[in-house]
Amino acid sequence: MNQQWKRQLPAENIQNIIPVAGGDVNDAYRVDTADQSYFLLVQPNHTADFYAAEVAGLKEFQNAGVTAPVVQGNGEIDGNAYLLLDYLEAGARGSQRKLGRLVAKLHQKHHPDNRFGYDLPFEGGDISFDNTWTGSWKELFVNRRLDQLNDSIIEKGLWNKAQAATYQQVRKIIVETLEERESVSSLLHGDLWAGNYMFLTDGNPVLFDPAPLYGDREFDLGATLVFGGFTEDFYHAYQEDYPLDDDAWSRIQFYKLYLLMVHLVKFGRVYEQSVDRTMQEIVSNG
């Protein structure tokens, strides 16, 4: 990065800006100053608003007593959005039980009027979703997320007629199931896969990179099933602190499907079989 970044970032005496791993959406860097280090996310060719929801989510997490990075700055330099955070040092291991309790604590922050959505939209690089507030979880999840993903998959030519027909079967099952459920609106991480938590050097868990919204907490748990990284200790501790309904796991498959469809849109046919298999499981259980 050039000297302009060192001059304009809200940190004094910057010595180094070093590229690090940061996921598939952002460019990521460690910023070293004379006194401390920061974690810098950059989204090329976007305004500062790209990170508005993430900033709001991290602040809400902290207000709810959920460990998350502290926002140190957000802005735009040379036409590129940036988000500057505390640099958190990862530890070698940590407690999945503590992680389960941390997520349960997050989900116990409820919207006072049981509304679903968020003040800001979801921005994920090449995918965005409307989070306008609604009284219906079904509308937010099915109409504004699943259906949009279905349209994108068809537009990209990633589904044949049989797969598109199976989606309509699955959609009917999801709609009927959610119409019978009285969803409670919880503060959600929104993208709770294993790459968005870590354990600190003291072994305690921290959540980061949120795509925040208020919705049914089963949404987050569905994401935990896709790529692994959550053990039985995580689910047992979550259940102890915030018990799920007996039939929750059949619905949680809906949200696993959602995240797989997101990845099908973003990365193509490598996720086709996983999406097909999850749709068939939902049809079989429906």
Grade residue 24 by pLDDT with cuts at 50, 70 and 90: low
Average pLDDT over residues 70-91: 94
CATH topology for the 3-86 domain? Phosphorylase Kinase; domain 1 (3.30.200)
Is the CB of residue 194 less than 8 Å from the CB of residue 207? no
Strands 71-77 and 205-207: unpaired
191 is catalytic: yes
- Evaluate if residue 125 carries a pLDDT over 80: no
For residue 255, give the nearest of 156, 181, 154 by alpha carbon.
Answer: 181
- Averaged confidence pLDDT in the chain: 95
Specify the DSSP element, H or E, that contains 83.
Answer: strand 80-86
Is the CB of residue 263 less than 8 Å from the CB of residue 126? no
Grade residue 26 by pLDDT with cuts at 50, 70 and 90: confident
Give tens-digit pLDDT for 260-270.
999 999 999 99
Alpha helix ranges (H) inside the chain: 3-8, 52-63, 96-107, 137-138, 147-155, 161-180, 218-223, 232-241, 248-267, 272-285
For residue 214, give the nearest of 65, 125, 142, 113 by alpha carbon.
Answer: 113
Average pLDDT over residues 131-143: 98
Count how many Cα atoms sit within 13 Å of the Cα of residue 283 in the half-sphere of its side chain: 13
Specify the pLDDT at position 148: 97
- Evaluate if residue 2 carries a pLDDT over 80: no
Average pLDDT over residues 174-187: 97
Average pLDDT over residues 112-119: 98
**CATH architecture assigned to 96-285:** Alpha-Beta Complex (3.90)
Check residues 2 and 222 and name the one with the higher pLDDT.
222
- The residue with tokens 């001059």 is 7
Average pLDDT over residues 180-190: 97
Average pLDDT over residues 43-64: 94
**What percent of the chain stands above pLDDT 70?**
99
Domain positions in the chain: 3-86, 96-285
Grade residue 23 by pLDDT with cuts at 50, 70 and 90: low
Give long-range contacts, CB 8 A cutoff, 24+ apart: 280-284. Answer: 280/166, 281/253, 282/170, 282/173, 282/174, 282/253, 282/254, 282/257, 283/166, 283/169, 283/170, 283/173
Looking at 147, 151, 191, 245, which residue is catalytic?
Answer: 191
Specify the pLDDT at position 4: 86
Average pLDDT over residues 221-235: 96
